Chains A and B, each alone.
Chain A
Amino acid sequence: MKCKRCGELAAVKLPSHHAGFCPSCFEGFFKKQVETAVRRHGMIGRDEKVLVAVSGGKDSLALMRVLTDLGHVVEGLHVHLGIPDSSDPVAERTRAFCAANGLTLHVLHTAEHGLAVPDVKDAVRRPVCAVCGKIKRHYFNRFAYENGFAALATGHNLDDETARLFANVLRWDPAYLGTQGPTLPGEGKFVRKIKPLYRLTEFETAAYCFLKGIDHWKAACPYSGGASFTGHKKLIADLEDRSPGQKTAFYEAFLAQGRPHFAGASRGEGQDTLYACAQCGFPSSGEVCGVCRVREQVAAHKARREAV
C-alpha cells in the first residue's frame, strides 16, 4: 500500500479515511486533525496558556507533544495519588519523559492536601474510582485556574467520546447530552475544558506515539476495575469495521444535530445552582464541595482509627 500523499510505502492504513500514510505524512495528518479540532471548536485563543492533564498514559503525552509542535504554550500537570507501588513509578517515568522532551511538568501530591487515595478508599463507602475521579478533576481545574491557564486539555480520543456518547444516548441523559463535546466553555472558577484529540482514534494515537517514540505505558492502577466503556467500544468498533467512517459520522452528527436540543438541560432538583464552597471557594452544588467533604471524612476516619 502506498502513501496517499507522497506515494512512498505506507506504514499506517486508515479505512475510515480511505487512506494509507507513510510515517511523515501520517504525522502531518495527525497534526492537521488536532489543528482542525482546535480551530472549529474554539479551543485555544491567541496567546492562551494550556494545561494538559497528564495521567502518565500515552494519550496525554501525545497531546502535550502535538500541541507543543503546533506552537501552543503548554504545560502539564500530573496528579500523584499516593498509591503505593503505582503512583511513584508513574510520576517518575512521566517526569523523565517530559524532561527528555523539553516539556514542563508540574506534579501535585493529593497526600499533601489530605487526600492520599488509599486513605480515601478506607474512609468512603462509595467506589473509590468515582471519588478519585472527582479529586483529580478538582485539582486539574483548580491548578489551571489559580495559575492563569485559559484551558484544561485532556487526552480523550474519538473512541472515548463515541463510547461515552453511546452510553449517554442509551440512558437519554439530557444533562450529559447537553454538555458532552470537544469544548466545554469556562465559567466562573471553571476553566474551559478541551479535548484536542477528539477527531483521532485510539489506533491513530497509538500509531502517532509509536512513530514519535512515545513508548510509555501506564502501569495499571491496583484499584482499577478495568477500562470504562469496553463493551460499548467493542460494539462501535464492529460497526466501524463494517462501514468505515461511522464513528466520526455518529459523533459529528450529534454535535451538529443532536446536542443543540439538549442545551441547558437541568441536572435535576437542586443541582443546577452553583455556590462557592465554604472551604475551598470552588464551585459546588452544596455549601461544601464534594472534595472538601471527602477530605473531612478522611480526617475523621484517621482520627477514629488513632483513638482506638
Chain B
Amino acid sequence: MRSKPTRASSTDVADAVGLERDLRLVGQRVIRHDARDKVTAATAFAADWAMPGMLHGVVLRSLYPSARIKNIDATRAASMPGVAAIMTAKDVPRNTLWTDVPGQTTAVGSLRAKLHVLAEDRVRHQGEPVALVAAETEEQAREAAEAIAVEYELLPGVFDPAQALEPGAPRVHEEGNLLAHWRVCHGDVAAAFARAAVVIEGDYRTQFVDAAYLEPESGVAWIDSDGVITIRVSTQVIEHFRDVAEVLNVPQNRVRIIGTYLGGGFGGKEDVTVEVYLGLLAWKTGRPVKMVWSRQESLLARAKRHPFRLRYRTGALRTGQIVAQEIELLADAGGYAYLSALVLLYATVTAAGPYRVPAVSVDARVAYTNNVPTSAMRGFGAMQVVFGYESQMERVARALGLSPVEMRKINALSRGDTLPVGQVVDTHVALPELAERAWAALGELTPPRAPHVKIGRGLACNFQPYGRIVWLHDWSSAWVGFEMDGSLVVRSGVPDVGGGQASSLCQIAAEVLGVPLEQVSVYIADSALTPLAGTTTASRQLYMSGNAVLKASRELCEQLLKAAAAVLGVDRDAVGLADSAVRTADGRSLPLPELLHACSRMGVPRSHLGVYHAPAGEPVDLEKGAGKVFPDYTYGAHAAEVEVDTETGVVKVLKLVAVHDVGRAINPLSVEGQIQGGAVQGLGYALMEDVVVEKGINMTTSFASYLIPSAVDVPDVRAIVVESGEGLGPFGARGIGEPPIGPPAAAVANAIEDATGARLSVLPLTSERLARALGLM
C-alpha cells in the first residue's frame, strides 16, 4: 500500500512486528531547523569564522611518496614578512601517536601502529605533513611554507599491496608491511564445493575514492579567556580533544572542541584533520589561528576509501542455494594504519553477503604501501565486498537460469540464522520483500533509442552494520531540560554532518514531552558544554544518541508527571503531557509553565541526563566463529536500469530504485535524502570516481580531474522506505547513513551484463573498460 509516490510504507512488514503508529511528530516529514538556517546562509561553517588578530596556518607537505628527510632549513622562511611561527617535528611536544591495532590473527600478532603529527626522519606517502607555518595572511603563510628548504633522499617505495607482501619488498614501517589479517572459517568448505552443481569464480578490483565533501577540512583555534585551547572545527568526532591534548601534552580538560555543522563528512572527517595543527599553532603563538585546506590539498593528502582486490569462489546447488563461499580480500592501507584494520574487519564480517551460506572461508589482509593512506569512508569496508558478492550472485543466477529476485529469495538470511562469524541474526530481515519491491518499481522497460543501444537491468542487495562493534562498549549521553516558560532544550555532543542528526533528536524529545517542535532548541557538539555522544560515524548517531534522548525524555516526563499528579491530587496514571500542558483523564489541564514553577518549589528537577549503553560483548575470535560482532544490520536492495551504447561503450543509468528497511523513519524527508544521496555516491563509485595514484603520485588533485556526479550524470533515485520497526534505535529505527552507498556498483555491473553479456569486474565501470570488454578497442 502506498501513501505517497515517494514513500511507500510497508504495512505487511509493519503489522507483522507491531510498529508503534500512534505518534505525533516521529514519522512526520518535518522541516529541519538546520535547513532553515542553511537556506538563509545563517549557518556559520568552520571556515565562516574569523577572530580579531587571527593568523592563518598552512601545512607543508611531502613531495615524495617515500623518502628520508635529511634536513629541514626554515631560517629564510622564518624571516619572511608576516610569519609568526614555523613548526617541525622537533617542536611538537608529543609527535608520535600510537594506536593499538585490534584483533590480529596469530600470524600477525597484536600491533601498535604509529602516526607522526609531523614527519620526522622519513615520509611514507606523498602529501604527508612535514611542517606548519602561521602568518598574518594566508598568502604569506603559503609563501613562507614554500621557502622552507627540505632536503630529501629518495627511497625505494612499494605501491601495490600484493607486492608489499612479497619477501624483500621495501618496508613502509619497520614492523613489516602486513598491517592486519582476519580469517573466518565456517563449515566444511571443501565438502560443500564437492556438493555444488555450479562453481563460479570471480576476481574483482575496486579503486581509491575520495569522500569529496563540498566543505574542505577547516577550523579556527584560539586560547580562550580561561586558558583553554578552543578549536572550532568541522569534524565527525569532537572527542579528538583528547588527541590534541596528548599531542600538546596538556590535560584533556584544557582542550575544548566546538564542532560546527559540517559541510559533509562521509567518514573523511572521522580521523583528525586540521584540529591538531590548529591546536599546535594556537598554543605556540598564543593567537587565534585559522586553517582551511584547499580542495587540491584535500584530494592530494586526505585518506581515501581502500582499493580492494576481491577473489570469490561461489558454489551453488541446482536449486540456486549457495552452499559455499571462498573469499580472499586484499586491501591497500597506504602509508599509515589509520582505521584500516577495522575497515578490513567490516569487510570480513560481511564478505559473504546477507545470505545463508553453510560453508564460508574468508582470508582478508591489508598491507601498508607508499600510496595515499586509506581509512573510513561511508560504508567502511562493508561496501567494497558488495561489488564482489552481488556480482557473484548474479553470475550464479545466470548460470542456473534463475531470476535475480528468485536468487535472493532462495538465499536471503532470516531471523535465527547464523552469520559465518557466529553472530545469530536476531531481528527481522526483509530482504526478499526489498528485492521484489526494488525490481517491481523499475516499471516498464525503457525502449532502446536506437538499434545499437541496449537496455539491461540489474539487482544488488546489501547489509551494513550500524552501531559500533559490540566489544567497543559504545555509549552516548544527552541532556533534556525545560526552561521556565515551557520551552525545551536538548544538549548532546553530536556532530551534525548534514543528515539531520540534531533535528531528529528534537523530534524525539518533542514527541515524548508533548511540546511542538518549534519549542525545542538543540545544542550539539561542544566537548565542554554538551554531554558526550560519541562519533557521527558507523551509522550510529540516531541509534545511540536517539536512544539517549529518548531515555532522558522519558525519565524527565516521568519525573514531571509524578509532580503533576501530586499538584493535581490524582494518580500518576491519570496524567499525561500534551500540547505543552499536563492533561488529566477527567479533562482538566495545567499549563506547562505552571507545572515547572511548582517543580521549582517542590525541588523536582526540570531536566534529566540520559545515558544509553549499547548491548556490549566480548571480543570474538572470528576464526572460531564465536559470536556477536555488531549490534544489528540494515538491509537494502537496489535495482538499476541502464542503457549501453554498444558502439562506444557509454553507459547511462536510466533508473535506480533504492529500497531499505530503515526500521522506522523518524523524518522520512531526511531518510529519503540519505538514501538518494548515498545511492548517487554509489553511482559515482560505479561509473566515474577514481583517485589515480601512479607510483605513489596522486594524478587527480583537482575537481577537474577527480569527477563526482553532477546533476546531469545521474537519474533521480527513487527511494522506497520500508519500516519493519525492528531496529535497535528509538521507535525501532535502524541506521541509514551508510547503507545506501553499497549496492549501486554491483547493480549497474549486473545491468550491464544483462544488456550486453559483458561482465565488468574492475571499478569504475568506465566506457573505456566496457568498450574493451565488447571488443570495440
A binds B: no
Chain B positions within 8 Å of A, measured between CB atoms, are none
